[in-house]
Chain A
């Protein structure tokens, strides 16, 4: 028995079905906001992803479980710090869960893997950490927004500090992956003195004995490291243990010197300088509330990752409110995101043409605070309203 596909009954059924689907999707756009939070929640880098998640969730709690007035549904998944896993999970979030926004990735190599499918599906990605130079320059995309920073900037800020403080010979150390290379490039953009040693180590290397020996032989007066998470912990302990902290001043970007590293290293870290676009002692109302509530909710001081997760959620909240929940119109959502009308916990925040922030960078030092805790203290501002160096290479389609 053959079915004639052009039978009227079937045509009517098909029409009815498509209308039902259309009304379903239209209803979805106004009913709730779905955010896919894909981050590193296991393995050595887990601390960073967990902080982003906790900061993001705290922001949702502060807005009463809503984003822009609509009920928020946050779908959380672990990328296991594996690019294939990350891409697969991102595709599942886009195709099966039909998320409106995506966020959460910590590591730049995962970001570069997840980017293409997300952008192709016209889903907005609000980065709560990864800010690869590729997406700031030639490969900039209307669907990518960085609520954190551009990878080079933190390093440029320290480079300027080291230059201004008059250090003449510097040793550099970073892991051998995109953000590591961005780090050294950024540092060298602002630092004009002599680089006596430049080393890239494998991301899996934990023992820096040979690198420290080479540093001792090269005799720099300052050392700049970019070693996120567990790598930084090991290096700093070994650096102090080798007695090099007496002869060389240690500098790092904010992520090598935040609460997670401090908690694992402790006293040996005192005196380390670092740069950050946020600090927990920043004096604005939004930040004070964020830091106090984060401590109450999670029992620890937030890191800059948590602050970025929080700001990412607030950005999405502002954009959804400005578009009055009409998330299907991608052009208006994009304009609302670009306007970034929200109170960031890091202070003044606005987007550059390449969707990366123009923001201040502060100099912090690790000291004991009034309660005897070892933590960061903000010393001053390095850059005011700093824009990244790749914006001119970005030809953002309108």
Chain B
């Protein structure tokens, strides 16, 4: 029972962080019709800036704030200088262009901070466990991640459904040509969306940094998961990103626990030890294939 509870919380935590990344990615893909492989690099830059600022200031919160601001600025600069020229190109050119940015940012980060992972520890107050129920403790820092993730999701909901900007974002995701025809200032909207995506990446990077290692190339593996999430959730839809992310988070985490257990019962401990992790890792891709088979547009598509 405790195991189940802990795994659900882990899945929720992982899913919410994936959501932060997927939200930015799906908006860029949905509104600007741009595949942005450099999204993972913004996540990495966010983590590095947070670590550097936290080390310089001695406070995790200050570090996180600096990381968010810094990454947003870098994201906006990137959009204005490079990505803007990729919007009317075909997807292949976008993939190649943003992949180049990914490689370059890896090397830039390596040049500045070196190849070894750098230190980013959670604030001392949150480094230990917290007792949620009698006999059930859970790491305080992961609870913080869940809290921040839910808060950001709520903020995004308010932004997208209750503000003028949000209305334009939804219109752009739904039907870009029509939104343009209705007078949306496209350039500013795009820059803003990209900046927002960068800020979300920075929050995810700064929060996951203490949990996982802050190292060069950390963006690649989570970027793949983010793409899986937006495919499952539906391109351009933030609700889809949230549902998709939670689904992927929970399936992946629980899969890692349940699959070896099931294999151990049916095929024996040795098979569970070797095949278990492999099968658990491909579960989310099986899920994506299943969703694509039954609902090719995703679970909550933005376009009608």
Partners in one complex: yes
Which A residues contact B (CB, under 8 angstroms)?
A: 41-44, 46-47, 50, 176, 198-202, 204-207, 209-211, 213-214, 216-217, 229-230, 233-234, 237-238, 240-243, 260, 263-268
Q: A241-B129, A241-B211 are in contact. Are A230 and B117 (CB under 8 A)?
A: yes
Q: Are B119 and A265 in contact (CB under 8 A)?
A: yes
A210 touches B10 (CB 8 A): yes
**A206-B212 in contact (CB<8A):** yes
> Known interface pairs A207-B212, A216-B2, A217-B3. Does A264 touch B117 (Cβ–Cβ under 8 Å)?
yes
Q: Are A202 and B278 in contact (CB under 8 A)?
A: yes
18 sampled A-B residue pairs with Cβ under 8 A: A43-B217, A44-B217, A47-B115, A50-B115, A201-B277, A204-B221, A205-B277, A205-B281, A207-B14, A209-B6, A210-B257, A213-B3, A233-B117, A238-B211, A241-B128, A263-B116, A266-B121, A268-B127
Rounded to whole Å, the gap between the CB of B270 and the closest CB of chain A is: 10
Instruction: Report which of B213, B276, B281 forms a contact with A234, defined as CB distance below 8 A.
Output: B213
Task: Tell me if B253 counts as interface (CB < 8 A to partner A).
Answer: yes
Query: Are B277 and A268 closer than 8 Å at their CB atoms?
Result: no
B102 at the interface (CB under 8 A from A): no
Q: Which of A50, A214, A266 has the most CB of B within 10 A?
A: A214
Contact B211 A207 (CB under 8 A): yes
Q: Which residues of B contact A213 (CB under 8 A)?
A: 3, 6-7, 10, 257
Q: In whole angstroms, how far apart are the Cα atoms of A198 and B277 in the complex?
A: 12
- A233 touching B213 by the CB < 8 A rule? yes
| A356–B68 alpha-carbon span in the complex (Å) | 51
Q: Shortest Cβ distance from A41 into chain B, in angstroms?
A: 7
Other A-B contacts than A198-B269, A211-B256, 19 sampled, CB-CB below 8 A, are: A42-B216, A43-B115, A50-B116, A176-B278, A199-B277, A200-B277, A209-B7, A209-B253, A210-B256, A213-B3, A213-B257, A229-B117, A230-B215, A237-B121, A237-B210, A238-B139, A260-B116, A264-B213, A266-B121
Q: How far is the CB of B211 from chain A (nearest CB, A)?
A: 6
B60 on interface, CB distance cutoff 8 Å? no
Contacts of B269 on A, CB cut-off 8 Å?
Answer: 198
Instruction: Give bound CA distance, A240 to B124, whole Å.
Output: 12
Q: For B212, list chain A residues within 8 Å (CB).
A: 206-207, 234
Which of B215, B260, B269, B276 is the most central at the interface, judged by chain A CB atoms within 10 Å of its CB? B215
Chain A interface helix/strand/loop/mixed: helix
Q: Roughly how many angstroms separate A11 CA and B259 CA in the complex, as a whole number? A: 71
Contact indicator A237/B115 (Cβ below 8 Å):
no
Residue of chain A at shortest CB distance from B139: A241
- B contact residues around A206 at 8 Å (CB): 212-213, 221
Q: Residue B122 at the A interface, CB < 8 A? A: yes
Does B273 count as interface, using CB distance less than 8 angstroms? yes
Check if B116 sits within 8 Å of A209, measured CB to CB: no
Q: A263-B119, A266-B121 are in contact. Are A243 and B277 (CB under 8 A)?
A: no
**A213–B280 Cα gap in the complex (Å)?**
16
Q: How far is the CA of A200 from the CA of B278 in the complex (A)?
A: 10
* CA of A214 to CA of B217, assembled, Å: 29
Interface size of B by Cβ–Cβ distance < 8 Å? 45
- Residues of chain A within 8 A of B128, CB atoms compared: 240-241, 243
Please give the residue numbers on chain B whose beta carbons come within 8 Å of chain A beta carbons, in ascending order: 2-3, 6-7, 10, 13-14, 110, 115-119, 121-122, 127-129, 137-142, 210-217, 221, 253-254, 256-257, 260, 269, 273-274, 276-278, 281
A213 to B142, CA, bound (A): 13
Q: A198, A243, A260: which has the most chain B beta carbons within 10 Å?
A: A243
Residues of A within 8 A of B256 (CB): 210-211
Given contacts A216-B2, A241-B127, A264-B116, contact A209 B10 (CB under 8 A): yes
Q: How far is the CA of A230 from the CA of B139 in the complex (A)?
A: 20
**B127, B138, B254, B276: the one within 8 Å of A240 (CB):** B127
Q: Which residue of B lies closest to A231 (CB)?
A: B213
Residues of B near A44 (CB, < 8 A) are 117, 213, 215-217
Please state if B221 and A46 are interface contacts (CB–CB under 8 Å).
Answer: no
- Give the nearest-CB partner of A43 in chain B: B217
| Alpha-carbon separation in the docked complex, A206 to B224 (Å) | 14
Smallest CB separation, A298 vs chain B (Å): 11
Whether B127 pairs with A264 at a CB distance below 8 angstroms is no
Check A46/B115 contact, CB under 8 A, given A238-B139, A241-B141: yes
Asked whether, in the complex, the Cβ of B137 is within 8 Å of the Cβ of A243, the reply is yes
Q: Are A242 and B119 closer than 8 Å at their CB atoms?
A: no
Report the bound CA distance from A288 to B63 in whole Å. Answer: 39
Cβ-defined partner of A243 (8 Å) among B117, B119, B129, B210: B129
Q: Which residues of B contact A267 (CB under 8 A)?
A: 121
* Residues in chain A near residue B121, CB distance under 8 A: 237, 265-268
Chain A residue contacts of B274, Cβ below 8 A? 176, 200
Contacts of A47 in B (CB 8 A): 115-117
A143 shortest CB reach to chain B, Å = 30
Q: Could you tell me the distance in whole angstroms from the C-beta of A228 to the nearest C-beta in chain B?
A: 12
Residues of B within 8 A of A260 (CB): 116-117
Per a CB cutoff under 8 Å, which of B14, B115, B260, B281 touches A209? B14
Question: Which residues in B have their C-beta under 8 angstroms from that of A268?
Answer: 121, 127
Known: A209-B14, A210-B10, A237-B211. A41 touches B278 (CB 8 A): no
| Nearest 5 CB-CB pairings of A with B | A243-B129, A46-B115, A209-B10, A47-B116, A210-B256
Taking a contact as CB atoms under 8 Å apart, the answer to whether B2 and A217 are in contact is yes
Cα-based distance from A42 to B138 in the complex (angstroms): 35
State the CA gap A201–B214 with chains docked (Å).
20
